[in-house]
Amino acid sequence: MLQDEKIRTIIKRAIALSLVIVGILFITIKERKPYALGMIFGSSISILTFILMGLSIEKAVKMDPKRAYGYSVGNYFLRYFIYFIVLTIAALAEYLSFVTTALGLFIIKVVILSSAIYDSIKRKA
């Protein structure tokens, strides 16, 4: 999965965007540590679940359709359970910002959507 150039590009852009946001947080906010740690925590979990999704898709494609369905649904719920644990930790921990952790969980989605919009605009020009 990680041999695919498109996947590596998405992950690199997500890391870069996260670092830019953390840099902006360090410049603009007085109590910056919880916000920065929340962003780092959320975006790292987002990247890891993206990799997990890719690995589960690769495995499911090689399975019998009935078995692949159950496997895919199980992995789907596993990813949401991971999100639940991450958000629970962010809500309970004093050293993490819940808001930036939740925003970090969307980092892969933002990168994919912005890449699609950019590519669409680039093709029309």
In this prediction, residue 51 carries a pLDDT of 93
Report if residue 125 sits inside a domain: no
Quick one: pLDDT band at residue 124, thresholds 50, 70, 90? confident
Asked if the structure places residue 108 within a domain, the reply is yes
Residue 24 structure tokens: 């902006």
Task: Tell me the CA distances in angstroms from 49 to 40, 43, 111, one per residue in order.
Answer: 14, 10, 15
Q: What is the mean pLDDT of the chain?
A: 93
Does any domain span residue 57? Answer: yes
DSSP-assigned letters across all residues of the chain: -TTSHHHHHHHHHHHHHHHHHHHHHHHH-SSHHHHHHHHHHHHHHHHHHHHHHHHHHHHHHTS-HHHHHHHHHHHHHHHHHHHHHHHHHHHH-TTS-HHHHHHHHTHHHHHHHHHHHHHHHHHH-
For the chain, how many structural domains are there in total? 1
Does 93 reside within a domain?
yes
What span, in angstroms and rounded, lies between the C-alpha atoms of 98 and 35?
Answer: 8
State mean pLDDT over 58-71: 92
What's the pTM? 0.88
- 21 domain-assigned: yes
- CB of 34 closer than 8 Å to CB of 89: no
- Asked whether residue 78 is domain-assigned, the answer is yes
Is residue 31 assigned to a domain? Answer: yes
What is the span of the domain harbouring residue 40? 5-120
85 located within any domain = yes
